Amino acid sequence: MSQWNEDVVSAEAAGTLDGLLYQRIRRTPETPAYRHYDAASRQWRATSWREVGDAVARWRDALAAEDLQPGERVAVHLRNSREWVFFDQAALACGLVVVPLYTDDRPDNIAYILKDAAVRVLLVQDAGNWKRLAPALDRHDDLKRVLILKRPEAALPESANDERVRFVADWLPQQAGPLLARKGDPQALASIVYTSGTTGRPKGVMLTHHNMLAIAHSALTMIDCYQEDRFLSFLPLSHTLERTAGYYLPMMAGATVAYARSIAQLAEDLQQVRPTVLIAVPRIFERVYGRIQGQMVRKPALARALFRYTTEVGWHRFEREQRRAGWRPRLLAWPVLRRLVAGKVTEKLGGRLRLAVSGGAALPLPVARTFIGLGVPILQGYGLTETSPVISVNVPDDNQPDSVGVPLNGIEVRVGENDELLVKTPGMMRGYWNNHAATAEVIDSQGWLHTGDQARIENGHIYITGRIKDILVLSNGEKIPPMDMEMAICLDPLIDQALVIGEGRPYLAAIVVLNPDGWLGLAHHYGLDPYDDASLSNEKLRSHLMKIIREQLRDFPIYAKVRRVILVREPWTVDNGLLTPTLKIKRAQVLEQFDSEIEALYAAGPVGRG
């Protein structure tokens, strides 16, 4: 890119989230807003800001015809797409409150959200989605209209005969009036985002227009974003990180967003879209890291040594750029190492990536070091749905990858009792929907929001050290935060998921879910039937896994040692109720499911004291 141009709409100029779109259209009507893959022509198509405005006007008029009152709730259950934006912007322009839903969430959970928020209009992807949801919504009297985006080519399912159901193509007017500026209240409720809690029912986080606008604008004061930037959107728009940083922020900056077709096609989309900015969760980087590690095991010793040397030199280069290291002769080798090794990785990400933001969970330092060493500029951030969501982020010229960065401009942080991180932010939620007691538990009388995360602050950077509710207290009184241990265990390519246990016990143990491909090879090595769960009890296999776990935890304190392991083949998923829609492990549910195995394990006593 020969020239980079900035054109940021301020939060004050936008006023509201729909006002943000109006200002963007007014400023750059003909520049590309979105790109999507057109399956019919097998090409990526661009939509200008003016065309977005025309489409939103049609959706706005159709919603207005539903005779809804300002403040009533509408829900969106779509994959990331232009239509997600059209519906969201049209609803906001009507003064409605948008409730985003995860497409892979369970029907009973979605039904609870729709009823709790008294949702009046629901937009779903296709008739198959509605058929799956309909039985759970039988007694939902508030739901007035169900909109189905994609009309099926085959016969309509019986669920589509519901008098509330309309196909979007039939529902939208052919023409609409112009998209006009609305003098909306920035402090008005814009969205209720249901947190996918790891325990209990989800809570509805109430966010205003100003909450999300203020956070998006504050982020842009710290990290430059240009009209020429291209985002690749693949995190669900129902995830507040993607919504604020991958939707409202690019609109504020006038950048283009391309919608990935699917996670399965992400590698191909990266090559075709060639993004300059990625918003991702650690799991994406961890999976790539795991594949790289798995490939390295099969490479000759010389190739493994060259890869290690490349990441070491690349990391030293990064540290020098950050003014934390001096010059060394080995830096002269970087151009060759980049061409032979590092460039092959960056090209798989499109070859133009200048920023990759990781949030939503902790990014393991070995993963960050590897990618940064290969020239992938990862910035780790931190936040909560309750804070719209960003609280802190590393910035390009002050990047401490083992931290979650510095607070955004306008945000106050401090460490309270039990080392808990407390926050005051313009992105702070209004409260939990219909749950004053829960609100009072999180926001204290001085206006500090209690994050529930333990932290320390050094040189302005925030370091998350644990989750208060997840701290394990052994029977000897030793307190252990399991999160870092679980991340370290999962860095081995043979292990996909891990849960460290030991609350009130004399020692730690772990439940680990094996990687399917790795398990097949390991079972063959030990002469075991990979499809028989009894194979998981094989002592040689358990000893092999214990050796792996010990190696992954070698840098942890002596008391943080896992003595026993439970092996599992079946992954923990949203569908089986063991993961939240944001892919966080539901610790209590996993412990309940494996209760008998855990009791038997501790009854047998510890092994593997080495």
List, for residues 461-493, the tens digit of each pLDDT value.
999 988 888 888 887 777 788 988 999 999 999
To the nearest whole percent, how much of the chain has pLDDT over 70?
Answer: 97
- Three-state secondary-structure class, residue 33: strand
Q: Is the pLDDT of residue 7 over 60?
A: yes
- The confidence score (pLDDT) of residue 477 equals 74
Higher pLDDT, 606 or 124: 124
- Three-state secondary-structure class, residue 219: helix
Q: Identify each DSSP E strand in 260-335 by its residue range.
A: 277-280
Omega into 389 within 30° of 0, i.e. cis?
yes
List, for residues 60-99, the tens digit of each pLDDT value.
999 999 999 999 999 999 999 999 999 999 999 999 999 9
| pLDDT band at 283; cut points 50, 70, 90 | confident
Of 596, 608, 605, nearest to 505 by C-alpha is 605
To the nearest whole percent, how much of the chain has pLDDT over 90?
Answer: 80
**Strand order, beta sheet including 508-514:** 495-501, 508-514, 562-568
pTM, full prediction: 0.87
Of 40-44, 106-110, 341-345, 467-471, minimum mean pLDDT range: 467-471
The Cβ of residue 197 has, within 10 Å, a number of other Cβ atoms equal to: 12
385-to-189, 234, 244, 453, 504 alpha-carbon distances in Å = 15, 18, 10, 14, 31
Kindly list the domain boundaries of the chain, sorted by start residue.
22-184, 471-603
Q: What is the mean pLDDT of residues 9-14?
A: 97
Q: What is the dihedral of CA 356, 360, 365, 369, to 10 degrees?
A: -10
Q: Is the pLDDT of residue 152 over 90?
A: no
- The token duo for 238 is 């129902």
State the Cα–Cα distance between residues 553 and 489, nearest whole angstrom. 7
**Contact between 422 and 454 (Cβ < 8 Å):** no
- The confidence score (pLDDT) of residue 609 equals 44
Mean pLDDT, the chain, as a whole number? 93
Dihedral pair phi/psi, residue 162, rounded to 5°: -55, 130
List, for residues 528-560, the tens digit of each pLDDT value.
999 999 999 999 999 999 999 999 998 887 778
The Cβ of residue 529 has, within 10 Å, a number of other Cβ atoms equal to: 10
Query: Within 13 Å, how many C-alpha atoms sit on residue 265's CB side?
Result: 10
Q: Is the pLDDT of residue 524 over 80?
A: yes
φ/ψ bin of 101: left (φ > 0), alpha (ψ from -120 to 50), beta (otherwise): beta
* 336-343 contacts at long range (C-beta below 8 A, 24 or more positions apart): 337/306, 337/309, 337/310, 337/313, 338/310, 338/314, 338/375, 340/306, 340/310, 341/306, 341/307, 341/310, 341/374, 342/310, 342/314, 342/373, 342/374, 342/375, 343/375
Q: What is the DSSP pairing of strand 479-480 with strand 495-501? A: unpaired
State the Cα–Cα distance between residues 399 and 219, nearest whole angstrom. 15
| pLDDT band at 40; cut points 50, 70, 90 | very high
**Contact between 450 and 442 (Cβ < 8 Å):** yes
Q: What is the dihedral of CA 245, 247, 251, 253, to 10 degrees?
A: 20
- The confidence score (pLDDT) of residue 605 equals 77
**Contact between 152 and 126 (Cβ < 8 Å):** yes
Of 126-140, 176-190, 246-260, 315-329, minimum mean pLDDT range: 126-140
462-to-212, 381, 395, 406 alpha-carbon distances in Å = 22, 10, 13, 6
Terminal Cα-to-Cα distance of the chain (whole angstroms): 55
**Contact between 232 and 278 (Cβ < 8 Å):** yes
Give Cα 447 to chain centroid, integer Å: 27
Q: What is the 3 state secondary structure string of 565-585?
A: EEEECCCCCCCCCCECCCCCE
State the Cα–Cα distance between residues 207 and 193, nearest whole angstrom. 8
Q: What is the mean pLDDT of residues 222-241?
A: 96
- The confidence score (pLDDT) of residue 154 equals 67
Q: Between the ranges 1-5, 274-278, 524-528, where is the mean pLDDT highest?
A: 274-278
- The confidence score (pLDDT) of residue 610 equals 39
CA angle 595, 601, 604 (to 5 degrees): 140
One of 3.40.50.980, 3.10.50.40, 2.60.60.20, 3.40.50.1820 is the CATH number of 22-184, namely 3.40.50.980
Q: Is the pLDDT of residue 516 over 50?
A: yes
Q: Is the pLDDT of residue 199 over 60?
A: no
Q: What is the mean pLDDT of residues 552-574?
A: 89
**Contact between 502 and 472 (Cβ < 8 Å):** yes
- What sections of 349-388 are H helices per DSSP? 365-373
Higher pLDDT, 610 or 565: 565
Contact residues for 445 (Cβ-Cβ < 8 A; gap 6+)? none
Q: Is the pLDDT of residue 160 over 80?
A: no
Q: What is the mean pLDDT of residues 125-133?
A: 93
Q: Is the pLDDT of residue 157 over 70?
A: no
Of 43-52, 211-220, 463-472, minimum mean pLDDT range: 463-472
| pLDDT band at 345; cut points 50, 70, 90 | very high
Of 25-34, 339-348, 352-361, 581-590, minimum mean pLDDT range: 581-590
Of 266-270, 445-449, 577-581, minimum mean pLDDT range: 577-581
| pLDDT band at 200; cut points 50, 70, 90 | low
Q: Is the pLDDT of residue 374 over 90?
A: yes
Architecture of domain 471-603: 2-Layer Sandwich (3.30)
Contact residues for 135 (Cβ-Cβ < 8 A; gap 6+)? 107
Q: What is the mean pLDDT of residues 324-353?
A: 96
